[in-house]
Structure 1
Amino acid sequence: MTSLDHLQVFQALHSSPNARLEHSAELGDGMVAALWNNHHDARDYQGPSHHTLSCYIAGGTETFRREQPGTKGAPDKLCVLPAGHDSAWVINGNIRLAHLYFSQEQFALGCISLLDREPRELQLRESTFLDDPIQAWRFRQLIAMNWDEPGERLLTSSLAHEMLSHALLSQVGARSGLKLKGGLAAHLRRQLTDYIETHLGEPLSLGQLAGLCSLSEYHFARMFRESFGLPPHQYLLARRLGRARELLRNGSLPLGEIAMACGFASASHFTNRFRQAVGAAPGEYRLAFLR
């Protein structure tokens, strides 16, 4: 789960005497949703360590970035604020906006699994007052859900994953002038991802994965992190949990069989890891999608 204390954009708004947090929810997998009201304010965001997707729900017609005073917001306008960006905002009048925060690790996983590219090759493009009706509709679905009700919060988490995938497919571009050093060759990266996907139900060791690349464990771990954006054990756990979510949503296998199919040592180990990542037990997750 992601701590709100480490979300700089969230904290910048929370520290304002004029901004009011209507609601927030930690959605698991490094994602957090928040719904805000604000009026007559000025806020700066300086190099956050996380990415932010923002949608104006109401108002915003007199809101602008300080360096772009002629460009104003409006309901259903979206902003994409990548990790590491700097922006300064002036809010005139009243505004209601929804935020979805997600971690760089989730961005990295999406680059690998959805785009088949190394995360360091790509960047989330910064955009201000973007028109994207599909994503705006998803934001309105998001805020219509009851984040306090466990089942609906799990559905909210699934919707947030859809929003992240949409952003990856529409708002990601290659880094200009990039000269990559180190890391794994593209064919080795693909070989590893294919191998991991077909062997998720088996115990996979660092030495076993390093051997596929003819590298020592030390060099493999370092080069894997450079290419994948996260260490091998974290990537492997994320893929196992991803497979588990698919099986829970789309089938009726007993939890013990799902645990084995996804490489967890026992049903209790699976349940503990799943709860840590998603914020609910596997059975609760399955029930949410049967409603």
Structure 2
Amino acid sequence: MLPLAHLQVFQALHGSSSARLEHCAELGDGMVAALWSNRHDAQRYEGPSHHTLSCYMAGGTGTFRRDRPDRKGSPDKLCVLPAGHDSQWVINGELRLAHLYFGEAQFAHGCVTLLDREPRELQLRESTFLDDPLQAARFHHLTRLNWQEPGERILTSSLAHEMLGHMLLTQVGIRDGLRLKGGLAAHQRRRLVEFIDAHLAEPLSLGTLAQLCNLSEYHFARMFRSSFGMPPHQYVLARRLHRARQLLQGTGLPLGEVALACGFASASHFAHRFGQTVKVKPGQYRLAMADR
């Protein structure tokens, strides 16, 4: 999870006397949402360590980037602010703005599982005042939900995953002139992804995964983290919880059987891990998904 103190874009707005935080919620899986209102302000973001997807919910017609004063914002316009970017903004008049923050680990996971690409080869393209009606509709749906209600918080997480996946499919480009060192080869990544997904119900050791790549555990762990953006155990846990969400939504299996099918030793251990990440109990998640 991304602590709010480490979200530089969030902290920049939070430190402004003009901006007002309406809502904020940790959505699980390393994603945070925030809804802001602001008026007559100036903001500067300097090389944040996280990515930000934003949407103008209302107003913004007097808002522009200092380096692009001829382009103004407006309702439903989106901005993609990648980690490491620099930007300065002038806010004339009033606006209402929704943000979705996520870190490099979530970006890397999506590159591997959705795009089947080495994350270090790819980068988010910085975009200002982008037209994307589908993403804007998701943001409007997100802001209409009660983020503190467990059932609706599940929907916010689902919407955030849809936004992240859509952004990866539409806003990711190849890095120019990059020479990669130390990561896993494409065929090794594919083999690992397929093996892990096929054996989620079984105990998986570092040695078993390293053997698939003919590497020592030490070198495998380093190379895996370079390629996937997270250690092997975190990746396996993320895949187990993803499978659990699928089973909770698409089957009537008892919670104990869902736990075993996803590699958890007990229903209580499963419930603890699921609650830590998704922020609700497995039973609440199932009920909320049934009501969609």
The TM-score normalised by the length of structure 2 is 0.98
Aligned to 1:107: 107
Q: Is the 8 A contact 1:80 1:125 kept in 2?
A: yes
Structure 1 distance, partners of 2:165, 2:201, is 25
Structure 2 distance, partners of 1:106, 1:260, is 25
Letter in 1 for 2:78: L
Cα distance, 1:64 vs. partner? 0.4
Structure 2 distance, partners of 1:196, 1:150, is 30
Aligned to 2:263: 263
Structure 2 distance, partners of 1:290, 1:188, is 38
Aligned to 2:123: 123
Structure 1 distance, partners of 2:226, 2:100, is 26
Deviations 1:23-69 (A, max 9, x none): 11111111111111101100011111111100001111110001111
**Any unmatched runs of 5+ in structure 1?**
none
DSSP-derived class of the 2:48 partner = coil
Aligned to 2:252: 252
Structure 2 distance, partners of 1:178, 1:242, is 32
Letter in 2 for 1:118: E
Q: Is the 8 A contact 2:150 2:279 kept in 1?
A: no
Aligned to 2:195: 195
Question: What's the RMSD between the two structures over aligned residues?
Answer: 0.8
Structure 2 distance, partners of 1:40, 1:247, is 48
Identical counterparts, % of pairs? 74
Structure 1 distance, partners of 2:110, 2:129, is 24
Structure 1 distance, partners of 2:58, 2:258, is 43
Q: Is the 8 A contact 1:2 1:28 kept in 2?
A: no
Aligned to 1:290: 290
Aligned to 1:243: 243
Structure 2 distance, partners of 1:264, 1:282, is 13
Cα distance, 1:188 vs. partner? 1.1
Aligned to 2:139: 139
Q: Is the 8 A contact 2:122 2:172 kept in 1?
A: yes
Cα distance, 1:181 vs. partner? 1.2
Cα distance, 1:2 vs. partner? 3.0
Q: Does 1:46 align with 2:46?
A: yes
Q: Does 1:231 align with 2:231?
A: yes
Structure 1 distance, partners of 2:42, 2:262, is 48
Structure 1 distance, partners of 2:96, 2:183, is 43
Deviations 1:159-183 (A, max 9, x none): 1100110000000111111111121
Aligned to 1:209: 209
Structure 1 distance, partners of 2:225, 2:153, is 31
Q: Is the 8 A contact 2:12 2:43 kept in 1?
A: yes
DSSP-derived class of the 1:289 partner = helix
Cα distance, 1:108 vs. partner? 0.9
Structure 1 distance, partners of 2:255, 2:49, is 36
Q: Is the 8 A contact 1:55 1:99 kept in 2?
A: yes
